[in-house]
Amino acid sequence: MNKVSSGAAVDLSVTLGKMKLKNPVMPASGTFGYGREFADFINLDDLGAVIVKGTTLRPRLGSFQHRLLEIPGGSLCSIGIQNVGVDSFIADKLPYLRQFNVPVIVNIAGESVEEFARVTEILSKAEGVAGIEINISCPNVKKGGMHFGVDPDATFAVVRAVKGATDLTVMPKLTPNVTDVTVFARACEEAGADAISLINGLVGMAIDVDSRRSKLGKNLTGGVTGPCLKPIALRMVWQVAQVVGIPVVGVGGIACPEDALEFILAGASAVEVGTYNLVNPRVMIEIIEGIRDYLIKKGVSDLAAIRGSFES
């Protein structure tokens, strides 16, 4: 390890596919809007990348109302990928992001392999998109609504199709709602993914005992997100980092620098911060500063030197 003296510059940069990030911290899709919503609190240029709301070919209204419930240490939420659609994203949201010197990653969703490929093609022609994150936690209409992300063949097919439709960096995002997440990570790598992010929300539910109905109204179930998700996310990131050669991006419950460092020690190249952005709009900046302070304290000049250094 390269030793540095206190106060010296440390290298936090990370490479994901063709993208060079100045630091390893970015927002998780759906918790940061289109970036502009946070402009009163942070400078987007300070982030490693910006990942925007899940985007589909056509606009989507998403889940029913009563979408969010606080649970101990987290949320149970069902937004259903409400979004303005890819055309409106390019026309109305992307121009704002172009003024910053930060890679923009678009999280995409679809109901068929063709839809994923089509959205990717459209985004690839737009100026100012650096990467595609594939949300495979979506129902596959052709397979009776079974989620792409719980079927290794469908996962492979989507990643392969998206790769075939673009030269941009492609990063599938794995769901934790599977028995062995490494099977899916391998399928992504074989299909040509440049990086892998994980995890999305873990499906859960809550019942109001008075009305005997779901606390999420007609949505019935939702994704568990936030700090309570972290141990599961960390375990899965650790498992995946051991079996793939491409960079892994850790997501799930990150709320402070120590949380982010745990993921990096477990093998993650970078991290996404989700739910906690909603609580503390400056948390990603605090995490970047905290990672830098940690490296200085440990006398390490380069983030890469500690990656995966968890001793099992």
> How many helices and strands (H and E) does the chain possess?
9, 18
Instruction: Select from 2-10, 98-106, 182-190, 221-229 the region that touches ligand FMN (CB under 6 A).
Output: 221-229
- Over the window 56 to 85, marking each residue x when it contacts ligand FMN by CB under 6 A and - when it does not, the resulting string is -------------------x-x-x-x----
143 binds other proteins (CB under 8 A): no
**Is 188 labeled as catalytic in the residue annotation?**
no
Classify 70 as helix, strand or coil: strand
| 98 CA to centre of own chain | 20
Which of 30, 149, 252, 257 binds other proteins (CB under 8 A)? It is 30
Query: CB of 62: closest distance to ligand FMN in angstroms?
Result: 9
Residue 12: CB atoms within 10 Å = 19
Using the minimum distance from each CB to ligand FMN, give the nearer residue, 54 or 247.
54
With DSSP H G I counted as helix, E B as strand and the rest as coil, what are the percentages for the chain, rounded to 5? 35, 20, 40
28 binds other proteins (CB under 8 A): no
103 binds ligand FMN (CB under 6 A): no
How far is Cα 162 from Cα 169, in angstroms, rounded to an integer?
A: 10
Task: Indicate which of ligand FMN, other proteins, none lies near residue 254 (CB less than 5 to 8 Å, by partner kind).
Answer: ligand FMN
How far is Cα 130 from Cα 265, in angstroms, rounded to an integer?
A: 26
Query: CB of 302: closest distance to ligand FMN in angstroms?
Result: 26
Residue 208: CB atoms within 10 Å = 12
Strand ranges across the sheet with 68-71: 68-71, 74-77, 222-225, 202-204
Using the minimum distance from each CB to other proteins, give the nearer residue, 205 or 306.
205
Q: How far is CA 46 from CA 90, 223, 275, 281, 297, in A?
A: 23, 29, 19, 13, 22
Query: Annotated catalytic residue: which of 77, 138, 188, 228?
Result: 138
Chain residues binding ligand FMN by CB under 6 A are 28-31, 53-54, 75, 77, 79, 81, 107, 135, 173, 200-201, 225-226, 229, 251-254, 273-275
Q: Which residues carry out catalysis?
A: 138
